[in-house]
Amino acid sequence: MSKQDFVPFEKKIYLSSPTMHGGELKYMTEAYETNWMSTVGANINEVERMTCEKVGCKYAVALSAGTAALHLAVKLAGVKPGDKVFCSDMTFDATVNPVKYEGGEAIFIDTEYDTWNMDPVALENAFALYPEVKVVVLAHLYGTPCKMDEIKAVSEKYNAIIVEDAAESLGATYKGKQTGTFGTYNVISFNGNKIITGSAGGMLLTDDKDAAEKVRKWSTQARENAPWYQHEELGYNYRMSNVIAGVVRGQFPHLEEHIAQKKAIYERYKEGFRGLPVTMNPYDEENAEPNFWLSCMLIKPEGMCKQVRDEKKALYISEPGKSCPTEILETLAKYNAEGRPIWKPMHMQPIYRMNGFVTREGNGRAQTNAYIDGHEVGKDGRPLDAGMDIFDRGLCLPSDNKMTSAEQDIIIEMIKSCFY
Ligand X SMILES: *Cc1c(COP(=O)(O)O)cnc(C)c1O
- Residues forming contacts to ligand X in the complex (CB under 6 A) are 65-67, 91-92, 94-95, 139, 165, 167-168, 189, 191, 202
Give the three-class secondary structure for 341: strand
**Least distance (Å) between residue 362 CB and ligand X:** 26
* Residue nearest ligand X, CB atom distance: 66
How far apart are CB 168 and ligand X at their closest, in Å? 4
251 phi and psi angles, rounded to 5 deg: -80, -35
Cβ 165 to ligand X shortest distance, Å: 5
Q: Smaller CB distance to ligand X: residue 189 or 241?
A: 189
CA distances 314 to 284, 345, 364, Å, are 32, 16, 25
Distance CA 386, CA 402 (A): 33
One DSSP character per residue, 362-400 reads EETTS----EETTEEB-TTSSBS-HHHHHHHHEEEPP--
Task: For strands 202-206 and 185-189, give the pairing.
Answer: antiparallel
Q: How far apart are CA 91 and CA 243, in angstroms?
A: 29
Q: For the CB of residue 193, give the shortest distance to ligand X in the complex, in Å.
A: 7
Q: Give Cα separations from 167 to 69, 105, 205, 346 (angstroms).
A: 10, 22, 11, 17
- Whole-number minimum distance, CB 112 to ligand X, in Å? 17
Give whichever of 94 and 324 is closer to ligand X, judged by the CB atom: 94
- Of 51 and 191, the one with the shorter C-beta distance to ligand X is 191
**What is the spatial distance between Cα 133 and Cα 242, in angstroms, rounded to a whole number?**
38
Distance (Å, whole) CA 277 – CA 83: 43
With respect to ligand X, which residue has the nearer C-beta, 259 or 276? 259
Query: Which residues, other chains included, contact 144 with Cβ-Cβ below 8 Å and sequence gap of 6+?
Result: 115, 116, 117, 169, 172, 281, 282, 283, 288, 290
273 vs 352, which CB is nearer to ligand X?
A: 352
Give the nearer residue to ligand X in terms of CB position, either 195 or 411. Answer: 195
CB of 283 to ligand X, least distance (A): 16
Q: How far is the CB of 195 from ligand X (least distance, A)?
A: 11
Pick between residue 194 and residue 322 the one whose CB is nearest to ligand X. Answer: 194
